[in-house]
Amino acid sequence: MSNIPTDLKYTKDHEWIKLLDDDTALIGITDFAQTSLGDVTFVELPGEGDTFTKGDSFSVVESVKAASDIYLPVDGEVLEINSPLEDAPELINQDPYGDGWLIKFKVTDASGLDELLSAADYAPFTEE
């Protein structure tokens, strides 16, 4: 059973979102995703100020098993990247909901937030 914090929102693609205030959020990959990937060896992060539309790939996480695109579930602008991941991508494995976050972003269109899953709704996706 994966660790699924109840204070976060989730996507069916195994990203988590932590809303910080009305228009900013952190995003990362879930415990289920990092376990499925295995040891993370490299993370390609966007640039600060980059903008993305809902469904765009904004990052690539590479592991010993695969490379996976990471998608933004809402329109947003990158405010900050988790630069320690560039030298220590294993932080994603060690602490996917804490030190392993990928980007902090400004939500520019909040309509997609309604489509995010609660922890209870996300849990079945980790059991398939």
Give the CATH number of the domain where residue 61 resides: 2.40.50.100
pLDDT per residue as tens digits for the range 24-82 = 999 999 999 999 999 999 999 999 999 999 999 999 999 999 999 999 999 999 999 99
| Number of Cβ atoms within 10 Å of the Cβ of 121 | 12
User: Considering the domain boundaries, does residue 118 fall inside one?
Assistant: no
Give 16's strand partners.
Answer: 10, 28
Placement of tokens 């499925």 in the chain: 36
User: Considering the domain boundaries, does residue 122 fall inside one?
Assistant: no
User: Considering the domain boundaries, does residue 119 fall inside one?
Assistant: no
pTM exceeds cut of 0.85? yes
- How many structural domains comprise the chain? 1
Which domain does 49 fall in, by range?
9-111
76 to each of 6, 64, 68, 71, 107, how far by Cα in Å? 23, 30, 20, 11, 4
User: Considering the domain boundaries, does residue 78 fall inside one?
Assistant: yes
* Farthest CA pair distance, the chain: 37
Give 15's strand partners.
Answer: 29
